[in-house]
Amino acid sequence: MTDQLILEQQDEAGRAAIWRARRSTRTYRGRAGFTLLLAAVTFLVVAASAQHIGGYAVSQGVSSLIAALPGIVAAIAAAFVLGMAASAFLKSLAASRNDDVYAARALGDEASTRSWKALAWIGALMIVTGGAWFMVVNDAAVSRTFFDLALIRDSVGKVLRAFGTNILIFSVSAVFILAWALVIALARTLPGAAGRPLRVLAIAYGDLFRGLPAIITIYLIGFGLPLTNLPFLSDLSTTSYAIIALTLTYGAYTSEIYRAGIEGVHHSQVAAARSLGLSHAKTMRYVVVPLAMRNIIPPLMNNCISLQKDTALVAIIGAIDAFNQAKIIAANNFNLSAVTTVAILFIAVTIPQARIVDKLSERDRRRMRAGG
Amino acid sequence: MAFVEIDHVTKHYDALEVISDFSLAVDEHEVICLIGPSGCGKSTLLRCVNRLEEISSGEIRIHGDRITGPGVDLDRLRRDIGIVFQGYNLFPHMTVLENAVLAPTKVLGMGRREAEEKAMAFLERISLSHKANDYPDRLSGGQQQRVAIVRALMMEPMLLLLDEITSALDPELVSEVLDIVRDLAAGGMTMILATHEMGFAREVADRICFLQAGKVYEQGPPAEVLGNPQGERTQAFLRSLRKAGRL
């Protein structure tokens, strides 16, 4: 049995020969050749597209410099990729010609890396070119509908003013949500049998408003409360109804984030605090909630971003926010470019926050790796 | 009447009995070391004394006053019983100084300045005053554990429970922590220690209790229990420690 498990007995030179014979140098000729072919095709496609699309733009009255610039940049990039693919192919050829095994391995390795890089660029260029075609086909139907620059320019002032409503709704409800959700989360984590009634109520609230689509909550509150003839509650502004509805909806989500944070605090911290004589409330106040906060800032900020976007939902109850204003402009002009303006505004305020969340998450990961 | 009386205490988690019919009396200024294999109930017992864990039957009395059962003001009770944990459990979001003054200021209502002066005096004594404004993650394990002891001492407890406080430490850091316990013992602090440091137990303990399956299997002065154990289980336990080079 053991005879079969161990290599047949041979002298050292024999074993070395077998080892060497099994080593081979990879030159990646196939990959490099395929990449070179694709790169050549890409270059032709990009150059032809640039010429056609640029010509079309000029015929539509765009100045020739602005029309030509993107095409030129794309063509230069394609040429650069072609060069990269060619160099990869040359490296691969050199690798197969080189008698020095180590040099050949290094050349083959470079050929492979450059091929992958070139392929990634080819993919990106093709997608961008496809996008450019999408904009100009059918006599530029897409660009006219969504990107009518003149209309965007004319509408931006009005839309921007209306966006102030979104910012108002967002900032006021964000403050309410942070406080309200903490109340719900603390109710949900009340200890013992005495805490049960409030705990159950908090759970029911969470289930209800996480199950209800935000748009329905806004609709019910915005149109429902005015019909109730209740003092105060029935004659608020649409903006106030929007704030109430968003606070109720997002309070439910955010309380779950808080709760996850609170329950994520290690029980040894609670034991340490309680053993010093701190009551449940003081333990929460000085130890658990501060610790929970540190862990939940990234998910809280994500919630914040989605709250910002959902301020656009208030259009349904007739609040003149940016989206509603843009819809009015769009209806008057039979063109959606004003809505594009809103889209750009939302994206512009969201991107910096998304980057901050990324940074915070990355910092957290580093802290975890550093061991606490 | 002894200071602390643990009287026929039983503790079980569902079917698992961790402490069974356990009795122990501790006098004032006495230092008791609980030793025994892991899972023998040492830590659970300590946590029952300040009621971080609830006992299932029996009772615990301090100065004859029953502290188990309903209606005991736990926050009041725990002011007077300090505990130090194996994992230090310092509050990571507070500096060393803040860790030390939290309970005196928030529980006893001591002024912030007064509490800080007191904390600095303690930190001075353990040579950590230069770390007062550092966060715990900047400290070594031994330093963190010393701070944890100071945090407990800030409440001026009448009884100190030490739950394997050197088990999580690198060997070279153990002595700096034990030095403090030695000082406390010399100062007359009543302490119950769960420990694996036999050499230290022999030196500092007035009495050693060997626990086996949730019971006191053998107890007596250190020299007797460690030097001339009577019980078969005690002998086996000490033999295995000796083999591992821990005794």
Q: Which of A250, A265, A364, A361 minimizes the C-alpha distance to A307? A: A250
B172 interfaces chain A, CB cutoff of 8 Å: no
A264 interfaces chain B, CB cutoff of 8 Å: no
Phi, psi of B36 (to 5 degrees): 145, 165
SS3 content of chain A, % helix, strand, coil (to 5): 85, 0, 15
A24 interfaces chain B, CB cutoff of 8 Å: no
- CA A136 to chain B, closest CA, distance in angstroms equals 57
Range of weakest confidence among A22-26, A258-262, B1-5, B59-63: A22-26
Strand B16-26 relative to strand B190-194, pairing: unpaired
CA A20 remoteness from chain centre: 50
Each residue's pLDDT tens digit, B2-39: 899 999 999 998 888 899 999 999 999 999 999 988 88
- CA A197 to chain B, closest CA, distance in angstroms equals 22
Contacts of A328 (CB under 8 A, 6+ apart): none
Range of weakest confidence among A67-71, B102-106, B191-195, B198-202: A67-71
Each residue's pLDDT tens digit, A121-173: 999 999 999 998 888 877 777 777 777 777 788 888 888 888 888 889 999 99
How many beta carbons lie within 10 A of that of residue A26, not counting itself?
15
Across the interface, whether the CB atoms of A272 and B85 are under 8 A apart is answered yes
Residue A370 is predicted with a pLDDT of 55
Across the interface, whether the CB atoms of B78 and A268 are under 8 A apart is answered no
Name which residue leads in pLDDT, B96 or A2: B96
- CA A342 to chain B, closest CA, distance in angstroms equals 41
Are residues B173 and B142 in contact, defined by beta-carbon separation less than 8 angstroms?
yes
Q: Quote the DSSP letter at residue A228.
A: G
Strand B215-220 relative to strand B207-212, pairing: antiparallel
Mean pLDDT of B62-88: 92
Residue B148 is predicted with a pLDDT of 96
Strand B65-66 relative to strand B57-62, pairing: antiparallel
- CA B80 to chain A, closest CA, distance in angstroms equals 9
Across the interface, whether the CB atoms of A268 and B89 are under 8 A apart is answered yes
User: Who among A275, A282, A372 is closest to B78 (CB)?
Assistant: A275
Distances, alpha carbon B172 to alpha carbons A255, B140, B203, in Å: 45, 11, 19
Chain A: residue whose CA lies nearest to B139: A372
A371 by DSSP, 3-state: which?
coil
For the record, the structure tokens of A300 come out as 């809280």
How many beta carbons lie within 10 A of that of residue B185, not counting itself?
20
For the record, the structure tokens of B113 come out as 């300045």
pLDDT at B245 over 80: no
Distances, alpha carbon B245 to alpha carbons B35, B171, B239, in Å: 16, 13, 10
Distances, alpha carbon A278 to alpha carbons A185, B102, B116, B121, in Å: 20, 9, 18, 23
Residues of A in contact with B76 (CB under 8 A): 277
pLDDT band at A205 (very low <50, low <70, confident <90, very high): very high
Mean pLDDT of A20-36: 88
Residue A96 is predicted with a pLDDT of 87
Residue A203 is predicted with a pLDDT of 94
Residue A36 to residue A82: CA distance in whole angstroms = 7
A372 by DSSP, 3-state: which?
coil
Residue A330 is predicted with a pLDDT of 83
Those of residues 291-320 in A touching chain B at CB distance below 8 A are: 291, 294
How many beta carbons lie within 10 A of that of residue A370, not counting itself?
8
Residues of B in contact with A274 (CB under 8 A): 52, 74-75, 78
Residue A371 is predicted with a pLDDT of 46
Across the interface, whether the CB atoms of B75 and A271 are under 8 A apart is answered no
Strand B190-194 relative to strand B31-35, pairing: parallel
Sign of the C-alpha dihedral computed for residues A35, A39, A40 and A44 taken in this order: positive
For the record, the structure tokens of A309 come out as 């976007």
Name which residue leads in pLDDT, A328 or B160: B160
User: Who among A271, A276, A372 is closest to B103 (CB)?
Assistant: A276
Q: What mean pLDDT value characterizes chain A?
A: 87
Those of residues 35-94 in B touching chain A at CB distance below 8 A are: 47, 50, 52, 74-76, 78-79, 81-83, 85, 87, 89-93
Residue B33 to residue B40: CA distance in whole angstroms = 14
A278 interfaces chain B, CB cutoff of 8 Å: yes
Share of chain B above pLDDT 70, in %: 100
Rounded (10°) CA dihedral B217, B220, B225, B230: -60
Chain B: residue whose CA lies nearest to A279: B75
Each residue's pLDDT tens digit, B42-52: 999 999 999 99
pLDDT band at B74 (very low <50, low <70, confident <90, very high): very high
Q: How many CA atoms lie within 13 A of A79 on its CB side?
A: 9
Range of weakest confidence among A12-26, A195-209, B78-92, B142-156: A12-26
Each residue's pLDDT tens digit, A82-135: 999 999 999 999 988 888 888 899 999 999 999 999 999 999 999 999 998 888
Are residues B219 and B225 in contact, defined by beta-carbon separation less than 8 angstroms?
yes
Residue B234 to residue B217: CA distance in whole angstroms = 8
Residue by residue, what is the 3-state secondary structure of A157-205?
HHHHHHHHHHHHHHHHHHHHHHHHHHHHHHHHCCCCCCCHHHHHHHHHH
Question: How many interchain CB pairs under 8 A, A with B?
Answer: 57
Residue A368 is predicted with a pLDDT of 57
Q: Which of B171, B153, B175 minimizes the C-alpha distance to B162? A: B153
Mean pLDDT of B216-240: 90
Across the interface, whether the CB atoms of A276 and B78 are under 8 A apart is answered yes
Residue A272 to residue A122: CA distance in whole angstroms = 59
Those of residues 201-220 in B touching chain A at CB distance below 8 A are: none
Residue A372 is predicted with a pLDDT of 43
Residue by residue, what is the 3-state secondary structure of chain B?
CCCEEEEEEEEEECCEEEEEEEEEEECCCCEEEEECCCCCCHHHHHHHHCCCCCCCEEEEEECCEECCCCCCCHHHHHHHEEEECCCCCCCCCCCHHHHHHHHHHHCCCCCHHHHHHHHHHHHHHCCCHHHCCCCHHHCCHHHHHHHHHHHHHCCCCCEEEEECCCCCCCHHHHHHHHHHHHHHHHCCCEEEEECCCHHHHHHHCCEEEEEECCEEEEEECHHHHHHCCCCHHHHHHHHHHHHCCCC
Across the interface, whether the CB atoms of A279 and B75 are under 8 A apart is answered yes
- CA A356 to chain B, closest CA, distance in angstroms equals 22
Each residue's pLDDT tens digit, A234-292: 778 888 999 999 999 999 999 999 999 999 999 999 999 999 999 999 999 999 999 99
Which residue spans of chain A are classified as CATH 1.10.3720.10? 151-369
Q: Which of A355, A356, A354, A328 minimizes the C-alpha distance to A341? A: A328
Mean pLDDT of A287-304: 88
Q: What mean pLDDT value characterizes chain B?
A: 92
Residue A25 to residue A97: CA distance in whole angstroms = 11
Are residues A360 and B125 in contact, defined by beta-carbon separation less than 8 angstroms?
no
Residue A6 is predicted with a pLDDT of 58
The second-level CATH assignment, the architecture, of A151-369 is Orthogonal Bundle (1.10)
Across the interface, whether the CB atoms of B91 and A271 are under 8 A apart is answered no
Range of weakest confidence among A125-139, A169-183, B192-206: A125-139
User: Who among B75, B90, B91 is closest to A277 (CB)?
Assistant: B75
Are residues A263 and A186 in contact, defined by beta-carbon separation less than 8 angstroms?
no
A288 interfaces chain B, CB cutoff of 8 Å: no
A232 by DSSP, 3-state: which?
coil
Q: Say what the ipTM of the complex is.
A: 0.92
